[in-house]
Structure 1
Amino acid sequence: MDTNGMTTWAGNHTYTGTVARPTTLDEAADVVARARKVRAVGSRHSFNDIVDSEGLLVSLDALAYRHPALHLHDSDAPDPGEPASGARRGPEPELDDATGRVRVSAATRYADLVLFLQERGRALPNLASLPHIGIAGALATATHGSGVRNPVLASAATGLELLTADGATHRLDRDADGEALDGATVSLGALGLVTAVTLQTVPAFDVAQTVYGPVPVGDALDGFDEASDLAYSVSLFTTLREDVFDTVWLKQAVEPGREPAAPAQVLGAPPLGAKAHPIPGVDPENCTDQLGVPGPAGDRLPHFHAEHLPSAGAEIQCEYLVPRENARAALTALAGLREPLAGLVQVCEVRSVAADTAWLSPMHRQDCVGVHFTLVRDVARVTAVLPVIDAAFAPLGGRPHWGKVFRTDPARLRSLYPRRSDALELARSYDPAEKFINDFLRRWVV
């Protein structure tokens, strides 16, 4: 164990708690059973205190599957002194050919699982912008990709395996425990340590990515619904420096044996003739392939390559999920933030997320539009503007992403989750002594 000042990936928050890194499940069970307070720490891609512990932080990274051909970018490796991310440590995922379900160590990064599945003719139905993130953390925080028909990544989960407060192992299965699994997938870490996840895969498919722009905000307001439905996944990016969306990214699923047919224009804008980064002026080398060239979905659905620095690196992220019927109002509110966020925004992404059934998902039973901010890594200045961002989206029913920074009214936030009491009851059934409850959960959920 150590107290080495582990930080979030972006370096904006230092976690509290002593760090334990068990190398077997038995060792992990013993560590959890002996601890007074416990929280799981994964790939550290959260930006707030959701991971903080009043006692022990447990990393299951030593049990994660690492694809032997993949070397994740150094900034995403564990803390100094830990083995390189390319080293294969955990067990290989187990793919059931009959059902298409894959069981994998929960600490595994999506990039590693994607390569494993790709070699076997399978794929995940959707991915987040960064393939560097860990599976357990992505599920627990309702992390998502884009697409009007694509729900959160947790929707692919058909089973979970948990280490609970007494060190016992519990399994939940979609077929047998459907209701409970809806409460356990997006759990914010309140039930226990997730040690393994079973995910539903789909047959492998190709995606062609084409980037368009620029698009005046007025045209985006008028044509947002139509543009969002043009491809499997669609993202609009703006720096808020001008009254435009600088780029619109279309990721089209390509039918086998057919050439991709990208639209000649999107919202009046032509396709770009060169590869682009979401942040104008930044070298796009770390971005996934564009220019309409088809490739495996796992290589195109994320915005960034796993072996390169994702996004901007030095950043803080904030996101609000707004009910789809308020999309136009959300885009109008976004335009109104240009002045208060001047000098803080690196880029803002707007995308669609389909409804799901997870009890603590911001998209619970409602389609949403995500308004995501990549901000400069200036903790004091960003913290000061968070109430301004909340004031723009809270009146529209906006719910903050659990893993990003935000400031809102706790009572308002709790009221937006009709299954919150069920989620708390489920958590207490697994953790009656509240060993896994921390300040973050007490502030926003409990």
Structure 2
Amino acid sequence: MTVRNWAGNHSYAGTLVSPASLDEAADVVARSRRVRAIGSRHSFNDIADSEQALVSLDALAYRHPDITQHGSDAPEGISPVVPAGPEPELDPTTGRVRVAGATRYADLVRFLEERGRTLANLASLPHLAVAGALATGTHGSGAGNPILGAAATGLEILTANGSLRTLTRDTDGDAFDGAVVSLGALGLVTAVTLETVPAFDVAQTVYGPARFEDVIDGFEEVSALGYSVSLFTTLRGQVFDTVWLKQAYDPATTVPATILGAPAYPEKVHPIPGVDPGNCTDQLGVPGPAGDRLPHFRADQLPSAGEEIQSEYLIPRARAREALLALDGLAGVIAGLVQTCEVRSIAADGAWLSPMHERDCVAVHFTFVRDAAAVGAVLPLLEATFGALDGVPHWGKVFDADPARLRARYPRRRDFLELMRDFDPQGTFTNDFLRRWVL
């Protein structure tokens, strides 16, 4: 059976194995020469490919009973329903929650919000599995919001000999920072413990269009307007079609009438102009739980466009103006391939292999049409353009970088290689992706 990612642009190498328990998973790992974990299948490259066993731990994931689940006829982008794993464990004293790594963020935040808690940050897609999002350095948006992995305080990892190792931020400090963004190289992350915060509401308002030159001049101010801010452009005109402002809701908070002269849209819109916005989260300034507003897309619907290929570069925030000017300069070459391009901000973190390692960043994210050859042809241009600004690609998107440049950009890379040797001395979890970009 061919196993594809959610967007259909990549077929995974390896034989899919779906153990029904941790014991079964340990047995698969212990008797396999090569193993990789496969999660919600939202990466666009070969990061999860395996030379032998491709292990899915979906059977251990928690599924919230009130979130629509789909059977074997699930549309692309929606995980098929599987037997539900145990409920997350919320510690009322610390506010930390332990959850199976294969659990989707949508299911976890619904569980938390029913208990008066939530997560401080979410990606634009709530469909992602927790462990996979952490392993690839996935992020949301907001000048004060670091990667999703910054909330992690504990990792339980099934290692190559079939034993379980636990790392915590409290006891393992530096090594824990090495393990959060692991690219799947240390083992199968079976459970994660995360910090939570008191539940809060968010109101989302979308503005546009805003002139490109005004965004370049006012990016710092616009980025600071809300808890999370995203800007979208098709690059087919000198405008950002939409500016998505997500504010922590307070009845006393004033919602801007305009942003950079752009008014609020009077009806719901999609990041891709002309696409039905029914799969987007509620807008028009209507407040709702953070878990239903911080993502751009609804958990029970196909995210984004569906048929697409994504690429993203993370550039030091100090060079945001240069990055936006460079993006404008690319328009004539790549606009025909771009469905939409999102620009957002991410705060620095301490994870060794995070693109935001010890630096605030601006993200330039491309949602391309699903034409692998055409997109592949422009990837060197993206590398030349944003690599020159000290930008690095998102680990889970498509890119064509200089391996030596990429390795040199991560000052703790050699420490990570030592961590790999400690956890996986025989290279059971190594694959071509790791050999190409990390080893």
Compute the TM-score of the two structures, normalised by the length of structure 2.
0.98
The correspondence for 2:221, drawn from 226, 233, 253, is: 226
Q: Distance in 2 between matches of 1:227 and 1:115?
A: 30
Question: Does residue 1:58 correspond to 2:60, yes or no?
Answer: no
Shift of 1:10: 0.5
Q: Which amino acid aligns with 1:352?
A: S
Q: Distance in 2 between matches of 1:6 and 1:399?
A: 28
Q: Distance in 2 between matches of 1:250 and 1:416?
A: 32
Q: Which amino acid aligns with 1:436?
A: F
Question: Does residue 1:114 correspond to 2:109, yes or no?
Answer: yes
Which residue of structure 2 aligns with residue 46 of structure 1?
43
Question: Does residue 1:103 correspond to 2:98, yes or no?
Answer: yes
Which residue of structure 2 aligns with residue 76 of structure 1?
77
The correspondence for 1:398, drawn from 391, 394, 417, is: 391
Shift of 1:18: 0.8
Which residue of structure 2 aligns with residue 135 of structure 1?
130
Question: Does residue 1:181 correspond to 2:182, yes or no?
Answer: no
Give deviations 1:5-29, integer Å, cap 9, x for gaps.
1011111010101111000000100
Q: Distance in 2 between matches of 1:224 and 1:32?
A: 48
Q: Give yes or no for contact 1:72–1:132 (8 Å, CA) kept in 2.
A: no
Instruction: Look up the SS of the partner of 1:342 in the other structure.
Output: helix
Q: Distance in 1 between matches of 2:384 and 2:179?
A: 31
Shift of 1:72: 4.5
* Superposed counterparts of 1:162-201, under 5 Å: 162-201=157-196
Shift of 1:88: 5.0
Which residue of structure 2 aligns with residue 249 of structure 1?
244
Which residue of structure 2 aligns with residue 389 of structure 1?
382
Instruction: Look up the SS of the partner of 1:92 in the other structure.
Output: coil
Question: Does residue 1:274 correspond to 2:275, yes or no?
Answer: no
Which residue of structure 2 aligns with residue 362 of structure 1?
355
Q: Distance in 2 between matches of 1:76 and 1:235?
A: 22
Shift of 1:261: 2.1
Question: Does residue 1:376 correspond to 2:373, yes or no?
Answer: no
Q: Distance in 2 between matches of 1:155 and 1:170?
A: 20
Q: Give yes or no for contact 1:146–1:352 (8 Å, CA) kept in 2.
A: yes
Q: Show structure 1 runs of 5+ residues with no match.
A: 79-83
Which residue of structure 2 aligns with residue 23 of structure 1?
20
Q: Give yes or no for contact 1:317–1:373 (8 Å, CA) kept in 2.
A: yes
Q: Give yes or no for contact 2:3–2:11 (8 Å, CA) kept in 1.
A: yes
Q: Give yes or no for contact 2:78–2:301 (8 Å, CA) kept in 1.
A: no
Shift of 1:76: 3.5
Give deviations 1:413-436, integer Å, cap 9, x for gaps.
011100000111001100000110
Q: Give yes or no for contact 2:121–2:148 (8 Å, CA) kept in 1.
A: yes
Q: Give yes or no for contact 1:319–1:404 (8 Å, CA) kept in 2.
A: yes
Instruction: Look up the SS of the partner of 1:14 in the other structure.
Output: coil
The correspondence for 2:413, drawn from 417, 420, 423, is: 420
Q: Give yes or no for contact 1:208–1:260 (8 Å, CA) kept in 2.
A: no
Give deviations 1:166-189, integer Å, cap 9, x for gaps.
000000011101111101110000
* Superposed counterparts of 1:318-337, under 5 Å: 318-337=311-330
Shift of 1:381: 0.6
Q: Which amino acid aligns with 1:251?
A: K
Compute the TM-score of the two structures, normalised by the length of structure 1.
0.96
Q: Give yes or no for contact 2:311–2:365 (8 Å, CA) kept in 1.
A: yes
Q: Distance in 2 between matches of 1:175 and 1:88?
A: 33
Q: Distance in 1 between matches of 2:11 and 2:83?
A: 28
Question: Does residue 1:151 correspond to 2:146, yes or no?
Answer: yes
Shift of 1:342: 2.9
Give deviations 1:382-409, integer Å, cap 9, x for gaps.
1111111111100000100000000010
Which residue of structure 2 aligns with residue 261 of structure 1?
254
Which residue of structure 2 aligns with residue 437 of structure 1?
430
Q: Distance in 1 between matches of 2:69 and 2:368?
A: 23
Q: Which amino acid aligns with 2:96?
A: R
The correspondence for 2:29, drawn from 32, 38, 43, is: 32
The correspondence for 1:308, drawn from 289, 292, 301, is: 301
Which residue of structure 2 aligns with residue 81 of structure 1?
none
Q: Distance in 2 between matches of 1:272 and 1:69?
A: 31
The correspondence for 1:239, drawn from 234, 238, 242, is: 234
Instruction: Look up the SS of the partner of 1:340 in the other structure.
Output: helix
Which residue of structure 1 aligns with residue 331 of structure 2?
338
Q: Which amino acid aligns with 1:382?
A: V
Segment of structure 1 superposing worse, 259-268 or 45-54: 259-268
Question: Does residue 1:9 correspond to 2:10, yes or no?
Answer: no
Give deviations 1:191-239, integer Å, cap 9, x for gaps.
0000000000000000000011111111001100000000000000000
Question: Does residue 1:202 correspond to 2:203, yes or no?
Answer: no
Q: Give yes or no for contact 1:321–1:369 (8 Å, CA) kept in 2.
A: yes
Alignment identity in percent?
69
Q: Distance in 2 between matches of 1:77 and 1:105?
A: 19
For residues 72 and 321 of structure 1, do their structure 2 counterparts lie closer, same or farther at Cα, with a shift above 3 Å needed?
Answer: farther
Shift of 1:298: 0.3
Aligned length: 435
Which residue of structure 1 aligns with residue 155 of structure 2?
160
